[in-house]
Amino acid sequence: MSIESCVIYEKKPLLSVNEAQERISAALTPLTQSELIPLKHAFGRTLAQTIYAPNNLPFARNSAMDGYAFSSQEMSTNSPFTLTQIGVVFAGSPFNGQLNKGECVRIFTGGIVPDNADSVIMQEQVNTQDSSIHFPSDIQFGKNIRQIGEDVCVGDPLCLAHKTLSAIDLGFLASAGIENVNVIRKLNIAYFSTGDELIGLGEKLTIGKIYDSNRYSLHGLLQNPNYEVFDGGVIADNRDLLKQTLQQAAEKFDVVITTGGASVGDADYVKDVLTECGSVNFWKIAMKPGKPLAFGRIGHCYFFGLPGNPVAVTTTFDIILKPALRYLTSTYSKKPLLFSACCTTPLNKSRGRQEFQRGILTQRPDGVLEVATSGHQGSHVLSSASAANCYIILDEDVTHVASGDCVNVLLF
Ligand code: AMP
Ligand code: MG
């Protein structure tokens, strides 16, 4: 979007949260560059290509039980029978002999089932007397054998491109013998706080100063194996310094995030600087907390200027930034699950912005989901955000929720 059309845009109503999300997706180009890495380093990374099975799984027929394997041909389960044990099959050491009529082998879980055997009976069901194995009637033939390819057939897709590799996926791919995987390269992200009032941990708190908490929240929020994250520290409320810092960062990083200075105060330079050295796509959303949120570009770098208030930072991150970063890393992502819950505390809001109030979601013994406000909803109030486990999402037009009304909640 050009700067001119943005200026016109500002005279229009605020962007809804949905519109903002759509405009961001439309403006982003997901990463395509990939790197080949060892499977062990791939937890949480996004697959660049679909991985296909190089072999059948199981690769060979093997036993699902500790028991006895034999051929049931010409046999009946109507009466007990006795077979002679002629060998033992451990997992990893197959039986090389020939299994004939009237014979069985002792077999352990994972042991290769001899070619002409079709049944494994668990050891708890038999009686043994030296090499004579007595089977009761009413046992089931043809069971307890893991067949070739019953898990995966050679050539089957194992994990699809754009999947985020879970712990199960790592085990799954290892079971298929996949040693290295092609993943999307990491997204390089830098984040900064802005504000003359900010001091660092270890410094003495004095009147007019506050500890910089936003960089700690962002540090936690950006923990993701797909991100390479740089903490750029604090930028003072100085227009030239902000411009110079953002321009330099934009040359090195895919994404730059700032907090603070995005509003309309006299020391809020973020939007002006973004206009000067890049382009503003939008800078206000009908969202609470989180109205001032500047999104745009500086060169090839995407820029997100988040609000300064600490709860606005975490909320805009969860609702706006997180999906955008996932989209950028080509990560397949489903719409987050919303739950309907019975609200046990009355809630108020003013019309016009979609609110993400912080709540505590619990489940009654009868299974019904209940949610209560977590307390003071100021966007500077971290205590109630810290006590919460979900957002209570209230649409733009809602002004009041009575105790007992149903609301939509989004788990943190
Ligand atoms: P601003 O958007 O810069 O006007 O900031 C809005 C509010 O958020 C002010 O009360 C700031 O002091 C506060 N704030 C801004 N940055 C931070 C930060 N990094 N940590 C904690 N509070 C902040
Ligand atoms: Mg500020």
Gap between the Cα atoms of 131 and 75, Å rounded: 19
Mean pLDDT to the nearest integer, 77-98: 93
At 41 the pLDDT is: 98
Measure 148 CA to ligand 2 centroid, in angstroms: 64
The residues that bridge with 285 in the sheet, in sequence order, are 15
Q: Model pTM greater than 0.85?
A: yes
Alpha-carbon gap, residue 385 to 408, rounded angstroms:
17
Nearest CA to ligand 1 atom 23: 308
Ligand nearest to the CA of 316: 1
The per-residue pLDDT for 12 is 60
192 C-alpha vs ligand 1 centroid, how far in Å?
Answer: 12
Ligand 1 pocket, mutate which of 191, 192, 198 (most atoms under 8 A from CB):
198
Ligand nearest to C-alpha 379: 1
Question: Ligand 2 centroid to 206 CA: how many Å?
Answer: 17
Give the Å distance between the CA of 28 and the centre of ligand 2.
27
3-state secondary structure of 183: strand
Quick check: CB of 259 below 6 Å from ligand 1?
A: yes
Q: Which ligand is nearest to the CA of 237?
A: 2
Tokens representing residue 237 in the block: 């409320």
Could you give the CA distance from residue 314 to residue 306 in angstroms, rounded to a whole number? Answer: 9
The position carrying tokens 């890393």 is: 329
Amino acid at site 35: E
Residues in the chain, total: 412
Sole residue written with tokens 């077999």 = 107
Average confidence score pLDDT of the chain = 95
Q: What is the residue whose two structure tokens read 């668990």?
A: 122
pLDDT > 80? residue 393: yes
DSSP state string for 391-411:
EEEE-TT--EE-TT-EEEEEE
Mean predicted confidence (pLDDT) in 144-158: 98
Q: Report the C-alpha gap between 190 and 7 in whole angstroms.
A: 27
* Tokens describing residue 387: 């006590």
DSSP3 helix / strand / coil % (the chain, rounded to 5): 20, 35, 45
Question: Above pLDDT 70, what percent of the chain?
Answer: 97
- pLDDT band, residue 78 (cuts 50/70/90): confident
Helix, coil or strand: residue 276? helix
Residue with tokens 């962007």: 15
Residue 8 clears pLDDT 50, i.e. is over it: no
CA of 307, closest atom in ligand 1? 2
Mutate to test the pocket of ligand 1, among 309, 314, 317, 383 (most ligand atoms within 8 A of CB): 309
Assess whether pLDDT exceeds 90 at residue 11: no
Report all structural domains of the chain as residue ranges with CATH numbers, in order of start.
Answer: 3-33+186-328 (3.40.980.10), 34-57+150-184 (3.90.105.10), 62-146 (2.170.190.11), 339-411 (2.40.340.10)
Is 38:178 a contact under the CB 8 Å cutoff? no
- Does 308 contact ligand 1 (Cβ within 6 A)? yes
252-293 pLDDT per residue, tens: 999 999 999 998 888 889 999 999 999 999 999 999 999 999
Nearest CA to ligand 1 atom 11: 308
CA of 344 to the centre of ligand 1 (A): 32
**Mutual angle of helices 239-252 and 270-277, in 10-degree steps:** 50
Residue 76, exposed/middle/buried by CB under 10 A (0-12, 13-18, 19+)?
exposed
Tell me: cis bond preceding 289? Omega within 30 of 0 counts: yes
Give CA angle at 401 (397, 405), nearest 5°.
120
Ligand 2: distance of its center to the CA of 100 in Å?
85
Beta bridge mates, 89: 107
214 lines ligand 1 (CB under 6 A): yes
Q: Which of 194, 214, 313 to mutate to test the pocket of ligand 1 (most atoms within 8 A of CB)?
A: 214
What is the whole-number distance in angstroms between the Cα of residue 257 and the centre of ligand 1? 14
Bridge-based pairing state of the strands 347-348 and 400-401: antiparallel
Q: How many CB atoms lie within 10 A of CB 311?
A: 24
**Bridge partners, 372 (sequence order):** 360
* Nearest residue to 209 via CA among 225, 198, 217, 194: 198
E-strand spans in 195-276?
Answer: 198-199, 210-211, 227-235, 255-259
User: Angle at Cα 338 formed by Cα 335 and Cα 341, nearest 5°?
Assistant: 180
Between the CA of 308 and the centroid of ligand 1 the distance, in Å, is 4
pLDDT at 330: 86
